[in-house]
Amino acid sequence: MISDGKLGSFALSAFFDDEYDAEAAAKALMQAGIPKDAITMTPGNRPDTSPVDHMGFLDALTGIFFHEEQRAAYATALERGGTLLTVQEMNEAQHNIALPILAEKGQIDLNERESAG
């Protein structure tokens, strides 16, 4: 998960293996007062659909939500079928509310997964 402060605003990204966990996190964020239009879910590849090249999407976001070295890890996780949830334009209070919600709803730590795998 990455937080990036710009001009008093915060952004977060979190990755979920299960799309239902990501949806539950998005719903909990909205219930906590985060605006719906600030939350974006990017689903990864699914067995019943044609593969999508997520690298172009992630290239566009590099530097905004996460660092260059995380781009490849997110692309690989999306190729495997996970879901990326991003939250933009939060104030500090919303950011502090969002962090434990994402952890509680099952976000995965890609750095931990890479070092274990």
The Cα-based distances of 71 to 34, 78, 101 in angstroms read 25, 11, 23
Domains belonging to the chain, first-starting first, are 2-108 (3.30.70.3450)
If one compares 42 and 97, the residue with the highest pLDDT of the two is: 97
| 6 pLDDT tier (thresholds 50, 70, 90) | very low
Sequence-separated (6 or more) residues with CB below 8 Å from residue 32: 94, 97, 98, 101
In the predicted structure, residue 40 carries a pLDDT above the cut 80:
yes
